[in-house]
Amino acid sequence: MSFINRHNTPVKKLPKLLAGLSFLLINTITLAASDEDANVVAQMNEMIALGQYSQAYTLGQASLFDLEGEPEFDFLYGLAALESGRPTEAVFAFERIAYLYPDQERVKLELARAYFTSNNLTAAKSLFNEVLATDPGPNVSANIQAFLDLIEQRESAVSSTFTWYVNSNIGVDSNINSATELGIIDTPIGDVELSPSGQSIDDNFMDLGAGFNYNHPFDKNSAAFVRGNFNQHNNFSTSEFDLDVISGEAGYAVIRENVRLSMSGRLQRVDLNDQEFQSSSSVLGTMQRNAGNGWSQGITAAYTAVRFNTGPNPDNNLRDVNQTLLSGNIAKAAGRFLHNISVYYGDEDAQRSAGKNNAQTFYGIAFSEQIQFRPGHIPYVRISFHKSENKSVAPVFNIDREDDTFSTSFGWIWQFNRNLNITTDVTYTENDSNIDLYSFDRLKYQTGLRYQF
């Protein structure tokens, strides 16, 4: 059944609407394929014509590595994926064609339907309206309007959602305490020998974590949210640097067309070796904007009060600071690629004049790239640069500390199914400081899984 009803009547019922938007792009796009590839495409075409979408999807999966990127195959594979209950894979397939052939209305309509089925209502509405503006004819217009009405109903629905997750990672860290490899440090008052705990320590580790996200909409344009998470980082041999982090955040969000504004408060506590080490409280404001054509932007402002526990050492309160942070990011989805760049600037004020050397100004930039290599497989790379300058001379060293930090990560996300992600990641960090005590290198490898309920 095609998007235009054979009997020239609008499709009015949802089951027919969801099943009736099937299009063939064969007469529009021609390919130079091998006989074997052409045979696969022909078989998929025949299966889809008979309504055998699951069989067509299975056949397409077997040839995905060889034929992915060929428009005719991508269209049939996307259609088979969509009709067999795999809308996310359908989105990737149709997006590849839409990127190469941006004027194909039939592809836009199938992509819009895939967005709708995967509950990306904003993207679906945008594409449906884009086609509707071309005056495609009464039957197609009626079907599009039916979808737009359904989108309006979903957006107007007021229902709370609750999701939670568990995660676990295991790995190897060459420098669990981010410390120098030097045993002796040269200072203005002479050479100082560092204790073993003051030098870099390598160890294996395991992370265990859990979190939740609760969203309560008041109407289609506003909602309250609460989220929380807990992570326990355990080193196998050295418990001195084990970390427990628990945080919670609550806020209110307002949505206006393609812009989301939110205000929230956040509390966090960090325990070091089973003893309270640091606590912080933050106020955050965020604006996120989806600009269409794969573009999105965001900006966040935060004010945080950081306090250290004075139980182990009364002088720990010299490290207390109030921090102001401003950050922004721009992202672009283009075919199978997702580009993202972010920048930030922060300024800290010490709570006590004697601890002014612990306050910093800092700024940085980060770039990340994700690739939808194959369905469910996303390799990625991230590179970042960070600069920090302390506001007063460091005791003993009698100079203002300045650090330059470079970090890069390479990883692979395997979306095993809708709920389970498996990730492998390698991160290298190099910190260059004008005070040798704070210069270090660090290499960390980890692999783990996350399951969302």
Tell me the domain boundaries of the chain. 14-156, 161-452
Query: Across-strand partners of 162?
Result: 214
Pairing between β-strand 400-415 and β-strand 420-433 as defined by DSSP bridges: antiparallel
Class of the domain covering 14-156: mainly alpha
Residues 6+ apart with CB under 8 A from 226: 213, 214, 248, 249, 250
CA 38 from chain centre, in angstroms, equals: 37
CA 42 from chain centre, in angstroms, equals: 38
Distance CA 76, CA 57 (A): 9
Task: Give the chain's end-to-end CA distance (angstroms, integer).
Answer: 36
Residues 2-33 as b or e (16 or more Cβ within 10 Å = b): ebbbeeeeebeeeeebbebbbbebeeebeeeb
Distance CA 195, CA 201 (A): 11
Class of the domain covering 161-452: mainly beta
Q: Which two tokens stand for residue 132?
A: 């509707």
* Radius of gyration, CA atoms only, the chain: 27
Q: Which two tokens stand for residue 393?
A: 């001379």
Q: Which two tokens stand for residue 4?
A: 């235009």
Distance CA 102, CA 81 (A): 21
| 161-452 and 14-156 share a CATH fold | no
Residues 6+ apart with CB under 8 A from 249: 226, 227, 228, 264, 265, 266, 267, 284
Identify the H or E element spanning 229. strand 222-235
Per-residue pLDDT of the chain (453 residues; tens, 9 = 90+): 333 333 333 444 444 444 344 433 334 443 444 566 778 889 998 998 888 898 889 898 888 888 888 889 999 999 999 999 888 889 989 998 988 888 888 898 999 999 999 888 888 998 999 888 888 887 788 889 888 888 887 776 667 889 999 999 999 999 999 999 988 888 888 888 888 878 999 999 999 999 999 999 888 789 999 999 999 999 999 999 999 999 999 999 998 878 999 999 999 999 999 999 999 999 999 999 987 777 899 999 999 999 999 887 888 899 999 999 999 999 998 877 899 999 999 999 999 999 999 999 999 999 999 998 877 889 999 999 999 999 999 988 999 999 999 999 999 999 888 789 999 999 999 999 999 999 999 999 999 999 998
User: Which amino acid would we find at residue 279?
Assistant: S
